[in-house]
């Protein structure tokens, strides 16, 4: 092979490498946008503090509830990352000895209260994650009524539970894998 052909081949290889690196970067950034992981220290801390919750479950609940927007407010009035109703937040705060009024828009406070509530619901329903998530979405009164009467949950609640469980697996796969998780964390912080 002559020198000119070698240089052309080298350029082609470099172009392929550059295109592959750009595609991988685009995939990483897109994934970090679709499945962000913000407030990870708070998630990890409060998940372990309140019943050794799976942090990927907490991230999935936050993603399903607010897509990690701390100032999110639902049409029903639920607030913050984990979409806690103000009355529920006040009740939780009283249970755990936090002064009221509480700032549900504060990410750490919201995660603290939300993880305690999720742990409480898991205890209340004997560790049944599906039922606890249904109660997180629709309220324990609705779930108790469904269980007592044999009624089916709201379609919205069934979809919510499925969405959280699916996202839990996605978060565990994406961020629980050491190399990929490190890359995604880096991509997330630069967005």
CA angle 166, 132, 167 (to 5 degrees): 15
- Catalytic one of 40, 49, 65, 94: 65
* Residue 29 in tokens: 């950034």
Within 8 A by CB and 6+ apart from 77, the residues are: 85, 86
Beta-carbon neighbour count of residue 163 at 10 Å? 16
Q: Match 């619901």 to its residue by tokens.
A: 121
* Residue 45 in tokens: 């801390």
CA angle 88, 116, 51 (to 5 degrees): 155
**Residue 156 is a catalytic residue:** no
* Residue 182 in tokens: 């490190």
The residues carrying an active-site annotation are 65
């Amino acid at each position: 092979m002559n020198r000119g052909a070698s240089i052309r081949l080298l350029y082609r290889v470099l172009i392929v490498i550059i295109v592959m690196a750009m595609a991988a970067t685009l995939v990483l950034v897109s994934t970090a946008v679709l499945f962000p992981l913000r407030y990870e220290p708070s998630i990890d801390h409060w998940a372990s503090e309140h019943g050794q919750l799976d942090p990927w479950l907490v991230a999935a609940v936050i993603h399903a509830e607010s897509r990690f927007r701390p100032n999110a407010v639902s049409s029903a009035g639920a607030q913050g990352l984990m979409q806690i109703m103000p009355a529920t937040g006040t009740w939780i705060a009283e249970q755990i000895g936090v002064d009221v009024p509480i700032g549900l828009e504060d990410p750490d406070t919201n995660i603290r209260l939300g993880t305690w509530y999720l742990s409480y619901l898991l205890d209340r329903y004997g560790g049944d994650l599906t039922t606890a998530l249904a109660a997180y979405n629709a309220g324990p009164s609705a779930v108790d009524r469904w269980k007592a009467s044999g009624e089916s949950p709201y379609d919205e609640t069934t979809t919510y539970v499925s969405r959280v469980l699916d996202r839990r697996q996605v978060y565990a796969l994406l961020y629980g894998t050491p190399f990929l998780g490190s890359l995604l964390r880096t991509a997330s912080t630069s967005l």
